[in-house]
Amino acid sequence: MKLMLVLAAVAAATSSGLTSAPALARGGCVVPRLYALKLGTAKGLLTHAGCTLAGVSYQRPRAGIARITAQVPPPGAMLPASARVFLIVS
């Protein structure tokens, strides 16, 4: 069952325009894991990874401090340089 999920994820990544490792050698973007981080920290990690912050959506806060609750594309995605990453903050 897990193998089918992995294969489905790889197929989805391939069809969504994600690139391979050789593209990263030329200066790509590997999306970092941003869940539970503050927005400022997430911006710094995106810049360091070669990605660009595309947009932020805000939801009603669940706790006192705003944290990243979702991101698109998912962590580990290999994308072209300066690829756009969307965040949801709650």
Cβ burial 6-30 (10 Å sphere, 16+ → b, else e): eeeeeeebeeeebbeeeebeeebbe
**What angle (nearest 5°) sits at the alpha carbon of residue 33, between those of residues 87 and 27?**
90
Residue with tokens 């050698």: 25
Q: What per-residue confidence (pLDDT) applies to 21?
A: 47
Q: What per-residue confidence (pLDDT) applies to 63?
A: 64
Q: What per-residue confidence (pLDDT) applies to 27?
A: 81
Q: What per-residue confidence (pLDDT) applies to 5?
A: 35
Per-residue pLDDT of 66-76, as tens digits, reads 899 999 999 99
Per-residue pLDDT of 9-67, as tens digits, reads 434 444 455 444 444 445 899 999 999 999 999 999 999 999 999 999 998 876 678 89
What is the identity of the amino acid at 58? Answer: Y
β pairing state of 52-58 and 68-72: unpaired
